[in-house]
Structure 1
Amino acid sequence: MDSAASEKSIIALDSWLQTPAGAYVRAWEQAQLDALTADIFGYNAVQIGLPQIDALAANRMPRKWLADIRPRARLDNVTELRQVAVTFDYAELPFASQSLDLVVLPHVLEFAAEPHQVLREVERVLIPEGQVIICGFNPASLWGLRQVTGRLTGSHFLPPAGEFISMPRMRDWLKLLNLGATTSHFGCYAPACRTEKWLQRYAFMDRAGARWWPYLGAVYMVQAIKRVKGMRLIGPPWTKKRVAAPVAIPATNKRRESQDGQG
């Protein structure tokens, strides 16, 4: 997928996110991101892509930016997209190395022309112990199955150009870059329905799915921390155990002890 095709895919995703199914996904992801980012501390945080979600709304870092591949316009008379602060190619992040505490990638890798390069750039700009949160569509789900059949029939449910990445595969990519996955979440267990009426009818599946088939949600979220080999936290210096100094015996006492022994 070249950069032009990648941009077309992102535009297609923008339109899909305005559908009832897209609103269903956005609501779940916003709730999860609010919970995950609320207790991540630092100074600089960046959300890359998907301005329909405010991934950093609950985070308290002093400097937060929304970055994207291009400026976004209002999609309809209701949706007001947030202002994009920085525009760039996903494969070349315009940030200094080890300058960011948190990067959020909502549905960026599956529609990027070079997903591995995007992850390498994220690893570069993160400080040691910095964190990345990735959102993606789960191919091992009812929606993933619907996407496969859609490619055969020509009736697509999700944007057709995206390359959906499984959770195990994503964890392998992260591990190769010393980004250790810490937590993962799955959600949106309803079938691939196009109307809000049918999505509401299947709302019970969100509760059942989280309990009985937790890894088959339509979307997932994975959180990882940048690990730096050979780096360790420095604690207080170890103190040597003090050895009690021998008590000197006065010479007079020594003389008296020898006299007592002779007597």
Structure 2
Amino acid sequence: MSNSDLQRWLDSAQGRYVLDWEQARFDTAVADVFGFNALQIGLPQFDFLHSNRIALRQTAGPCSGVDVRCDFTALPFTAQSIDLIVLPHVLEFSSDPHQILREIERVLIPEGQVIITGFNPLSLWGVKRYLKRHGDFPWNGSYLAAARLKDWLKLLGFEVDRGSFGCYVPPLEQQQWLRRLYFMEKAGRRWWNFSGGVYLLRAIKRVHGMRLITPNWRKKMVRAKALRPIAQKGCNKETQ
């Protein structure tokens, strides 16, 4: 994927349509995640972490304009050091998506979260990709079905917490047609939810045998001690 192809698509009506939907979903998904370190891998042109309140938020990737320049398959972070990772449209354009997920599992802390977006092959966008598989971005990727990605995550010990689909309007290039057919968003969410052009999945890293210790806020009832009369010396003596 060349930077020129990517930027051209991001500036198009299609690109804005997809990224607007994803920005809104990322804002909601990251708002309630806390910790010390958050990382965005891919698409540094957009700040998908700006609604998160973690102090240290970084971007990483092989291109310029990132905080940490690195390969997606070899993240230069110590094990169990990241609380939150967002991964926008990286897996379907990588030659080794399994290794990327393994690296994410390695650097996430226990109970850390990863939020992933991808193009859905079971949609009108997936049909167009099948017809234009040798075209420019985003049609040159290997789209992953959400169910398949869930299986990969489960094998790595993740628990998929939530997911959503969006962008039900056909992948048209003219802004006016995207607006005219926008009613399909509501209809798609209601009638054919799984067939949105893109999806977002949020997963939590679970560690086998780990148990979180939380404060016991339940107040214990303290049993009142029975009062016993104290015998007083001389009380029963008859006065002379």
Tell me the TM-score normalised to structure 1 length.
Answer: 0.79
2:181 equivalent in structure 1: 202
1:113 matches 2:87: no
Residue 128 of structure 1 pairs with residue 110 of structure 2:
yes
Q: Confirm whether residue 89 of structure 1 aligns to residue 68 of structure 2.
A: no
Paired residue type of 1:183: R
Do the aligned partners of 1:186 and 1:217 also contact (CA within 8 Å) in 2? yes
SS of aligned partner of 1:15: helix
Gaps of 5+ in 2: 226-240
Quickly say closer, same or farther: Cα 1:88–1:95, change in 2 above 3 A: same
Amino acid at match of 1:50: L
Alignment deviations for residues 31-57 of structure 1 (CA, whole Å, 9 cap, x no partner): 000011011011100001112321101
1:215 counterpart residue number: 194
- Note the 1:150-189 alignment, pairs <5 A: 150-151=132-133, 156=135, 158-189=137-168
Counterpart for residue 125 of structure 2: 143
SS in 1 for 2:38: strand
CA distance in structure 2 between the aligned counterparts of 1:203 and 1:157, rounded to whole angstroms = 25
Per-residue deviation, 1:159: 3.0
Unaligned 5+ segments in structure 1 are 1-7, 72-82, 245-263
Measure the CA separation in 2 of the matches of 1:236 and 1:209: 44
Larger displacement relative to structure 2 (88-97 or 47-56): 47-56
Q: RMSD between aligned alpha carbons?
A: 2.2
Between the two proteins, the alignment pairs up a number of residues equal to 224
Map 1:222-237 onto structure 2 (within 5 A): 222-235=201-214
| Native 8 Å contact 2:82 2:108 kept in 1 | yes
- State the SS of the aligned residue for 1:128: strand
Could you tell me whether the CA contact under 8 Å between 1:146 and 1:157 is conserved in 2? Answer: no
More helix by share: 1
TM-score (norm 2): 0.86
Structure 2 partner of 1:53: 46
Which residue in the other structure is 2:228 paired with?
Answer: none
Bigger Cα Rg: 1
